[in-house]
Chain A
Amino acid sequence: MADDVKALSAELARDPDSLVFLQLGELLRHKGPAPEPMAPAPAAQPLEEARVFAGLEGAEEGLLLLDPSGQVLGGALKDPAGRDVTDAVAAYLAGVSQEAGRTAKLLGLGRWTGLAAEGRHGHAHLTPPTGSALLLVVRERAVPMGRLAIIAQRAALAARRWLEAQG
């Protein structure tokens, strides 16, 4: 039947005024309804949930999750001019987690839990959401350091959940 359909279709293409369209229509009616187009595979989770910091303030401009080698796992950073500085900052932060850990250990301070930094134009807070990953939160200077620590705690919780979900 497929060959007949193909032949009639070819004939119709050669002569659009031909009455073969009637035969073709009859054949297709007997063939039954066309199969449903293949539905796209459902995503493992909605796009919003797939993002590390979905729903958190500054998720695309002031939150960054990195692996120990400085590779970006999620989030993004923009400078005050709106330029994307994600990769540059991530590269400079490679190894910071290990160095902070070594410093704390050398001083007998136990596990490091955070690193708050005050710059001329803004504040930053680093925290290790898991043993090896590093989370950076950056905000303008108007945001007090204490509030930044709270934002960092929430973001760290989201990052831990996301990292666990990634396996």
Chain B
Amino acid sequence: MTTAPAEYGRVLDLVTRVHGVRGAMLVAGDDGLVVAEQLMEGIKGPAVAALAASLATRLRRALEAAGVGAGQFWHLQAEQGALLVVTAASGVLVVAVAEPDVNVGLVRLELLRAAEAVG
């Protein structure tokens, strides 16, 4: 199932409704361009998208070389927050920017649901 662009907002809602999530984005995994976004003011979407895609590519290659297989979910932890990413079957990245005390397990589940909806 592939979601029409008009439905991207609904898909992102799945993620942003989780308490502690500051924003969510859909990013083209191959070129790092923003497909859709729902971000809090002040977050530079295009730059974050580019870096997230680059990091995802490096991680995928490293994980495949290690025999772990393609990365399905990754979570960048920082002192004042986190970046959580799931790769959809199409290669689109579903990205969430969150507070440090967010429920990571819940965000992961919603990201996986969103990725399934994106296709």
B8 contacts the other chain (CB 8 A): no
A165 contacts the other chain (CB 8 A): no
Assess the A112–B51 pair: CB atoms within 8 A. Answer: no
A51 contacts the other chain (CB 8 A): no
The digit string for A105-137, where 1 denotes a CB below 8 A from any CB of B, is: 011111111111111111110000000000010
Besides A103-B76, A106-B51, A118-B71, 15 new A-B residue pairs in contact (Cβ under 8 A), listed by A number: A80-B67, A81-B67, A89-B65, A92-B58, A102-B51, A107-B83, A109-B79, A110-B80, A115-B77, A116-B75, A117-B63, A119-B72, A120-B69, A123-B68, A124-B66
The B interface is mostly helix, strand or loop, or mixed, namely mixed
Listed in ascending order, the chain A residues whose CB lies under 8 Å from chain B are 77, 79-81, 83, 85, 88-89, 92-93, 95-96, 99-100, 102-104, 106-124, 136, 138
Name which of B58, B67, B75, B81 has the most chain A CB atoms within 10 A of its CB: B67
Assess the A117–B73 pair: CB atoms within 8 A. Answer: yes
Q: Which residues of B contact A85 (CB under 8 A)?
A: 65-67
Listed in ascending order, the chain B residues whose CB lies under 8 Å from chain A are 42-44, 47-48, 51-52, 54-55, 58-59, 61-63, 65-83, 97
22 chain-A/chain-B pairs, Cβ below 8 angstroms: A85-B65, A99-B51, A103-B48, A103-B55, A104-B78, A106-B47, A106-B48, A107-B48, A107-B78, A108-B81, A112-B78, A113-B79, A116-B74, A117-B63, A118-B74, A119-B63, A120-B69, A121-B69, A122-B66, A124-B66, A138-B66, A138-B68
